[in-house]
Amino acid sequence: MRANQIFIIFMAFCFGALAAIWLYALENQPSRVKTETIGQALVGGPFTLKDQDGKTRSDTDFAGKYMMVYFGYTYCPDICPTDLSKMTRTLEILSKKDKGNKAELIQPIFITVDPERDNSEQLKDYISNFHPRLIGLTGTSEDIEKAKKAYKVYAVKVDAEGKTGTDIKGDDYLMDHSPQTFLMGPDGKFVRFFRFSETAPQIAAALDKIIPSPKN
């Protein structure tokens, strides 16, 4: 492995650790700040993107379901595959607990923050490693920026020298990005986010409390 690739991976770990610390601090702020940060009106919004099959998808396609939304990218060396594997495990745990009823009400969604490299074909290959119902979304840079802004997601390129910016050229870069998973309600409104540090059993238990049992 080249020295610059090793350095990029090292920087990714550093940025990931800083993001986790930031999220921990955010969760432990006084209640006034938590209300403003996690309030329903401040996170989420409409989006129109392309899925892994090239089909146009919008937030309205998932009306009536809970959405677990994760922003990441397919070239991510560690954080993204860890979180998506955890999302898969979470849904498996929830499915076993209530025979799949509540789990079926949840649509897992992966939105790329790296549309330059993550086209539909790349997404299709990548998400095949995770939950079978996981939908991967991409689009133009402008479309992705709108989605990031709506969800208050941070993402920026990091080159081999540790420099960040949108003007980085070439394909030899990583993305420093927010590592949280968003839970959106059936009405499209924000419910809460799950931190990188939370385990699949913890998230499954939280979802079990939040989601009412489906009516027969």
- For residue 99, the SS3 value is coil
Q: What is the 3-state secondary structure (H, E, C) of 183-202?
A: EECCCCCEEEEECCCCCHHH
Of the candidates 27, 171, 181, 169, which has an alpha carbon nearest to the alpha carbon of residue 91? 181
Could you give the domains of the chain? 3-210 (3.40.30.10)
Distances (CA, A) of 126 to 74, 97, 134, 172, 192: 6, 28, 10, 19, 26
pLDDT in tens, 71-121: 999 999 999 999 999 999 999 999 998 776 899 999 999 999 999 999 999
pLDDT in tens, 162-175: 778 777 777 889 99
- What is the pLDDT of the chain when averaged over all its residues? 83
Pairing of strands 174-177, 155-158: antiparallel
User: Does the pLDDT value for residue 195 go beyond 50?
Assistant: yes
Reported pTM: 0.80
- For residue 28, the SS3 value is coil
Question: 80-94, 146-160, 162-176, 193-207: which has the minimum mean pLDDT?
Answer: 162-176
Higher pLDDT, 98 or 127: 127
What crossing angle do the helices spanning 79-97 and 200-210 adopt, rounded to 10°? 50
User: Does the pLDDT value for residue 15 go beyond 80?
Assistant: no
